[in-house]
Amino acid sequence: MVAAGILLSRLFGLVRQRVFGHYFGVSASADAFMAAVRIPNLLQNLFGEGVLSASFIPVYAKLLAEGRERDAKQVAGAVAGLLGLVVGVLVLGGYLATPLLVEVIAPGFTGEQQLQTIRLVRILFPGMGLLVLSAWCLGILNSHGRFFLSYAAPVVWNVAIITALLAFGGRTESYDLAAITAWGAVIGSALQFLVQLPAVLTLAGPIRVTAKWATEHVRTVTGNFFPVFLGRGVIQISAYIDTFLGSMLPVGAVASLGYAQTLYLLPVSLFGMSVAAAELPAMSRLRDGDEEAIGQLGRRLSDGLARIAFFVLPSAVAFIAFGDIIAGAVYQSGRFTADVAVYVWAILGGSAIGLLWSTQSRLYASAYYALQDTRTPMRYAMIRVAVSISLGWALALRLPGVIGLEPRWGVVGITLAASAAAGLEWYLLRRRLPEGLRHRHAPVRHTGAILLAAVFAAALGTAVRQAVGTLHPIPLAVIVLGAYGIVYLVLTWVFRVPQARALTKRRD
């Protein structure tokens, strides 16, 4: 259900990006909008889904499992009150401090581009505050075992933006169209919250928003919250450093990075976040401290890592081998040309190297959160960000000049650095697991068989691409990626990979 909801919302997200690319391409206004979205997104990502899931769900789900519905409801109301107060203050402060934030995040923007970015950020800030409340709904729904609605809710956010673009795109230009698109995002944020609220009230009953923040369970939530907040915060700083570095590269770098990240996040969300999000409430209920509970937690961890590898490794290989086809099929229209698709492919290839590490790290972090250890993931997130920033600066701004590349290709260095840092975080998270969980990971033989099947399938897909010749990116993607996917599934079945066998297993 998580994967189905995420798939639906991501598909609409791809449609949104395709429509955006049609009207904006890699123009200065596209750079401004991509940078503007990142600034209020900090609010959403710090206080939203990831942080609330790690701090709120383990406490709320545990109370439900113990039959303490009244206490659970009180915790939900107190968290809603605290969240509303903090987010309200931050939205107001962010609105007032927008010029300073833009100067810090995108110092390469000057003149009209800088002024319009400030304008866009101020429009977007209230919408991102509403998305934080939407994440509160997600925490309650997931704890009650309702996954689809909360992860499909962003569909209405995407639809609102698409509607704004289609309604005004043919008769409004540049920065004015970007402002209309931002207002569409604000309306979509309100709809995303409101579409979940009736289900929350049905499952949990009437929830009274309170300021009772001194109770034991609320203190546990807030105690878990701040380490996760800091961990997510440094990850978000890394994302802003990407924009910071991209703004110092030629026009189009920031927008192209955004297009690539939309594609990269599809398998991360479908096969990383979906498994981690579904496992967190179940893992939290197993936290009894005895050997049996640890054993069950370990089995869930091993199975989840294997499922992630089965889907993510072929996604990474496909990005590396056929990234131009994928980018062209999704985006190529209007001002988004075939040359831009190749540029996005290079950026996407850098991200693909660390794709498996990034997705499996989410599940490792969920295991720590289920054990209510929020500090270990925080420490390793800080190490990851430090490595990503230092290495990204060297690869993006210094290396192209040393080896004679055009400066615009420095954006590939940003994603390569992020991949290297993700690998380090993955290693550290796995190494520091409790003794009973330390050796719980996808077997090397299992991962090797998946990688071998993906590489062979990519080789055949490349041969098919050469055979069919020049086609529009969409039919070319259907043919080449279709052949790639079929061969991968056949080979993994032949190699006796359990996940492939499960797809064809006859059920009684």
Residue 162, in any domain of the structure: yes
Asked whether residue 384 falls in the same domain as residue 465, the answer is: no
Between helix 355-370 and helix 375-393 the angle, nearest 10°, is 160
225, 51 Cβ separation under 8 angstroms: yes
Between helix 253-267 and helix 291-331 the angle, nearest 10°, is 130
Which of the listed residues 424, 442, 460 is the one where a domain comes to its end? 442
**Which of 215-229, 386-400, 475-489 bottoms out in mean pLDDT, i.e. has the lowest?**
215-229
Question: Burial, 15: exposed, middle or buried (Cβ in 10 Å; 0-12, 13-18, 19+)?
Answer: middle
Which of the listed residues 402, 421, 442 is the one where a domain comes to its end? 442
Q: Residue 23 half-sphere exposure, CB side, CA atoms within 13 Å?
A: 26
Asked whether residue 366 falls in the same domain as residue 477, the answer is: no
Paired tokens of 271? 């096969």
**pLDDT mean across residues, the chain:** 84
Asked whether residue 144 falls in the same domain as residue 172, the answer is: yes
Paired tokens of 212? 């009772």
Condensed to tens digits (0 to 9), the pLDDT of residues 208-234 reads 877 777 777 777 877 777 776 666 656
Condensed to tens digits (0 to 9), the pLDDT of residues 150-189 reads 888 889 999 999 999 999 987 777 788 999 999 999 999 9
Asked whether residue 438 falls in the same domain as residue 461, the answer is: no
Q: What are phi and psi of 472, to 5 degrees?
A: -60, 145
Rounded distance between C-alpha atoms, residue 480 and residue 499, angstroms: 23
pLDDT at 508: 41
- For residues 461-484, give the mean pLDDT: 93
Asked whether residue 80 falls in the same domain as residue 94, the answer is: yes
With tokens 């055949």, the residue in question is 460
Residue 419, in any domain of the structure: yes
For the chain, first and last CA: distance in Å? Answer: 22
Paired tokens of 231? 């961990």
Residue 507, in any domain of the structure: no
- For residues 395-413, give the mean pLDDT: 90
Residue 508, in any domain of the structure: no
Paired tokens of 5? 């909801």
Smallest CA-to-CA distance from 396 within 416, 375, 378, 373 is with: 416
pLDDT at 120: 92
Smallest CA-to-CA distance from 401 within 252, 254, 256, 249 is with: 249
Asked whether residue 354 falls in the same domain as residue 380, the answer is: yes
8-state DSSP, 334? T
Asked whether residue 343 falls in the same domain as residue 449, the answer is: no
Asked whether residue 450 falls in the same domain as residue 379, the answer is: no
Condensed to tens digits (0 to 9), the pLDDT of residues 406-422 reads 988 999 999 999 999 99
Asked whether residue 436 falls in the same domain as residue 468, the answer is: no
Q: Which residues contact 11 (CB under 8 A, 6 or more apart)?
A: none
8-state DSSP, 333? B
pLDDT at 485: 94
**Which of 126-135, 175-184, 312-321, 407-416 bottoms out in mean pLDDT, i.e. has the lowest?**
126-135
**Structural domain boundaries enclosing 489:** 443-502
Which of the listed residues 417, 442, 467 is the one where a domain comes to its end? 442
pLDDT at 507: 45
Smallest CA-to-CA distance from 458 within 315, 252, 283, 287 is with: 315
Rounded distance between C-alpha atoms, residue 260 and residue 348, angstroms: 5
Residue 63, in any domain of the structure: yes
Dihedral sign, CA of 428, 434, 435, 440? Answer: negative
* Percent residues over pLDDT 90 in the chain: 28
Residue 4's pLDDT band (cuts 50, 70, 90):
confident
Asked whether residue 414 falls in the same domain as residue 468, the answer is: no
Residue 330, in any domain of the structure: yes
Residue 347, in any domain of the structure: yes
Asked whether residue 394 falls in the same domain as residue 306, the answer is: yes
Overall domain count for the chain: 2
139, 48 Cβ separation under 8 angstroms: no
Residue 258, in any domain of the structure: yes
Asked whether residue 435 falls in the same domain as residue 478, the answer is: no
pLDDT at 434: 76
